[in-house]
């Protein structure tokens, strides 16, 4: 009992911390442009009668958030001439000014929506500045937060971030109908002013006194070397990809699933935009706080198990059909467990990151974390086409098991706090360039074989599902993979080749990181 009360005392102290408040409030500045780019601008263009193909191209503005790790080393290497703020807060202020200016310019462009290329350029500039701001704020959170503050700060931060994104997008659309889009864009721009005040008043990070990479090359290379040279680094990276994979697959096409079951637009809207959003925000904040009281290890196990089991609600919907209470309950439970898992997992990412490379490493880890969500849609469509919704959701439950097995490797069941920061070093071996190339090629070949078998297996399952009496034939789809006929066949083959190339490069990089230099 005393241990439990002591844990909640830590939560209360964390809520009162200036560091927690600064990190949480700065997340509002991250959510504003995301809601603008993802929700408000496409809706505005549709209202202006812009061709849907052009609007579709605007989704490419999301790319900076996926590739932000490419320029994140700049924020580890260079310091802006703002010594009172420090490196990460200085970069944060710069990108907030950039967001203020570009959003104001977008408001001016809204007066003449016919100049679509200017609007597209400004949208991309806003996305780039926003992704860059995220790099700086994430790095600041890594450097400033104490371990007993991380859970509460992460929960509050993600909840505020998502609330800002959806409220900004939805509120902008609503008020623009009563006022004007130009006026709303200008109002959104002015919201960055109080966020700049938060940046100026935020406590300075002590990590600014740490060793700064002497060159840009070291700022790019050392973060990867520093992590990959750890003994269980690859297992940890595999866990980063696998932990939320089942959850991401189940939720990627949930709206089309509910429509195909027979629910109307009102039901789907209430379930996803109202119940789902509220439950996710509550779950994220609750997950962050409980991670502090339970310990990171216990939280990852408990929330990981819950988010896997939550997919069983979709299995029941696929089997029973049109049942509104069941659908609302399943959506609410899945959303709250997703938020709890995200809260605990985000604490893990903070602890995995080395403070001297906070910008680069956290950007890389968060990009890997987002990878399953990005790939989930196409994969889900292929699998559902092959086996149907009922079997697909059973498949997602089974797919959650590998992530929990990887968790057992570095945080055995019953461990309160996994020792992420003290992963054992590997004694490097001297390897020739030919050996590095050979290991990379071997990794690529293994990846190619596994990817080809996975594609062929899905196609074989699809044929068996549509013609049960024909039996299960794996060889025919495997042979057709290497004899493409139409665009779909070429896309499948290209995906297999691309996967093998990426895996080969990752293998070579890992072997190089563990070799004597």
Average pLDDT on 59-73 reads 78
Q: Are 83 and 374 in contact (CB under 8 A)?
A: no
User: Above 80 in pLDDT, residue 197?
Assistant: yes
Q: Are 45 and 117 in contact (CB under 8 A)?
A: no
Structure token pair of residue 146: 């104490």
Separation of alpha carbons 332 and 270, rounded Å: 11
374/150: higher pLDDT: 150
514/150: higher pLDDT: 150
Separation of alpha carbons 157 and 160, rounded Å: 5
304/239: higher pLDDT: 304
Q: What is the DSSP letter of 262?
A: T
Place of tokens 């399943």: 330
Which residues make Cβ contacts (< 8 Å) with residue 264, sequence separation at least 6? none
Confidence at residue 245, expressed as pLDDT on a 0 to 100 scale: 78
Confidence bin at 102 (pLDDT 50/70/90): very high
CB atoms within 10 A of CB 421: 11
Spatial CA neighbour of 280 closest among 158, 404, 150, 134: 158
The CA-atom distances, in angstroms, between 450 and each of 428, 437, 472 are 29, 20, 19
Please state which of the ranges 8-22, 392-406, 444-458, 459-473 shows the lowest mean pLDDT. 8-22
Confidence bin at 351 (pLDDT 50/70/90): confident
Q: Are 69 and 360 in contact (CB under 8 A)?
A: yes
Confidence at residue 3, expressed as pLDDT on a 0 to 100 scale: 42
Separation of alpha carbons 107 and 114, rounded Å: 13
Q: Are 137 and 29 in contact (CB under 8 A)?
A: yes
The percentage of the chain sitting over the pLDDT mark of 90, rounded to a whole number, equals 6
Confidence bin at 1 (pLDDT 50/70/90): very low
Confidence bin at 151 (pLDDT 50/70/90): confident
Q: Are 150 and 350 in contact (CB under 8 A)?
A: yes
Confidence at residue 211, expressed as pLDDT on a 0 to 100 scale: 60
Average pLDDT on 54-77 reads 77
Confidence at residue 73, expressed as pLDDT on a 0 to 100 scale: 83
φ/ψ of 295, rounded to 5, equals: 100, 145
- Verdict on whether the full-model pTM lies above 0.75: no
Cross-strand pairs, 169 = none
The percentage of the chain sitting over the pLDDT mark of 70, rounded to a whole number, equals 80
User: Above 50 in pLDDT, residue 499?
Assistant: yes
Separation of alpha carbons 503 and 509, rounded Å: 10
User: Above 80 in pLDDT, residue 5?
Assistant: no
Average pLDDT on 331-355 reads 83
Confidence at residue 192, expressed as pLDDT on a 0 to 100 scale: 92
267/127: higher pLDDT: 127
Separation of alpha carbons 370 and 237, rounded Å: 13
The CA-atom distances, in angstroms, between 75 and each of 69, 124, 149 are 11, 20, 24
117/128: higher pLDDT: 128
Interior angle at CA 452, CA 450 and CA 455, nearest 5: 110
Angle between helices 18-35 and 87-109 (to 10 degrees): 30
Separation of alpha carbons 386 and 259, rounded Å: 19
How confident is the prediction for the chain on average, in pLDDT? Answer: 78
Separation of alpha carbons 504 and 510, rounded Å: 10
Please state which of the ranges 369-373, 398-402, 461-465, 474-478 shows the lowest mean pLDDT. 369-373
- 452-471 CB burial, b ≥16 within 10 A, e <16: beebbebbbbbbbeeeeeee
Interior angle at CA 69, CA 168 and CA 288, nearest 5: 55
Please state which of the ranges 13-27, 37-51, 85-99, 123-137 shows the lowest mean pLDDT. 13-27
Separation of alpha carbons 81 and 79, rounded Å: 7
Confidence at residue 273, expressed as pLDDT on a 0 to 100 scale: 67
Exposed/middle/buried for residue 115 (C-beta within 10 Å: 0-12, 13-18, 19+):
exposed
Please state which of the ranges 217-231, 290-304, 435-449, 451-465 shows the lowest mean pLDDT. 217-231
240/5: higher pLDDT: 240
Q: Are 163 and 172 in contact (CB under 8 A)?
A: no
401/67: higher pLDDT: 401
């Amino acid at each position: 009992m005393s241990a439990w009360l002591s844990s909640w005392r830590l939560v209360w102290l964390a809520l009162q911390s200036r560091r927690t408040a600064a990190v949480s409030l700065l997340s509002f500045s991250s959510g504003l442009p995301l809601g603008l780019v993802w929700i408000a601008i496409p809706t505005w263009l549709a209202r202006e009668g812009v061709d849907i193909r052009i609007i579709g191209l605007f989704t490419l503005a999301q790319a900076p958030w996926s590739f932000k790790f490419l320029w994140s080393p700049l924020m580890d290497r260079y310091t802006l001439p703002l010594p009172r703020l420090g490196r990460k807060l200085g970069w944060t202020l710069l990108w907030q000014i950039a967001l203020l200016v570009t959003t104001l310019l977008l408001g001016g462009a809204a007066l003449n929506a016919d100049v679509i290329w200017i609007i597209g350029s400004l949208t991309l500039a806003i996305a780039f500045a926003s992704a860059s701001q995220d790099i700086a704020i994430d790095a600041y959170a890594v450097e400033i937060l104490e371990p007993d503050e991380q859970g509460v700060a992460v929960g509050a931060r993600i909840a505020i971030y998502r609330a800002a994104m959806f409220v900004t997008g939805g509120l902008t659309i609503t008020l623009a109908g009563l006022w004007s889009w130009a006026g709303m864009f200008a109002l959104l721009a002015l919201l960055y002013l109080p966020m700049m005040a938060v940046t100026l008043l935020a406590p300075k990070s002590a990590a600014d006194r740490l060793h700064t990479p002497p060159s840009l090359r070291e700022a790019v290379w050392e973060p990867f070397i520093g992590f990959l040279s750890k003994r269980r680094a690859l297992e940890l990276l595999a866990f980063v990809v696998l932990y939320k994979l089942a959850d991401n697959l189940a939720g990627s096409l949930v709206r089309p699933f509910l429509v195909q079951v027979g629910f109307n637009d009102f039901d789907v809207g209430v379930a996803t935009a109202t119940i789902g959003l509220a439950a996710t925000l509550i779950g994220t904040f609750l997950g962050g706080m409980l991670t502090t009281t339970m310990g990171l290890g216990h939280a990852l196990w408990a929330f990981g198990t819950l988010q896997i089991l939550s997919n069983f609600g979709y299995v029941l919907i696929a089997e029973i059909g049109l049942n509104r209470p069941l659908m609302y309950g399943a959506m609410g439970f899945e959303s709250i467990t997703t938020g709890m898992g995200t809260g605990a997992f985000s604490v893990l990412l903070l602890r995995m990151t080395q403070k001297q490379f906070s910008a680069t490493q956290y950007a890389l880890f968060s990009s890997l974390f987002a990878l399953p969500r990005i790939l989930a849609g196409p994969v889900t469509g292929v699998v559902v086409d092959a086996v149907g919704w009922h079997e697909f959701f059973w498949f997602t439950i089974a797919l959650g098991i590998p992530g929990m097995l990887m968790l057992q490797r570095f945080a055995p069941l019953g461990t309160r706090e996994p020792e992420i920061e003290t992963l054992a070093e590997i004694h490097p071996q001297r390897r020739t360039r030919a050996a590095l190339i050979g290991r990379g090629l071997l990794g690529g070949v293994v990846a190619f074989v596994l990817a080809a078998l996975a594609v062929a297996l899905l196609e074989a399952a699809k044929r068996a599902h549509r013609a049960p009496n024909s039996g299960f034939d794996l060889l025919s789809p495997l042979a057709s993979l290497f004899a493409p006929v139409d665009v779909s066949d070429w896309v499948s083959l290209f995906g297999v080749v691309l996967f093998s190339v990426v895996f080969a490069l990752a293998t070579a990089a890992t072997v190089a990181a563990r070799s004597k230099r």
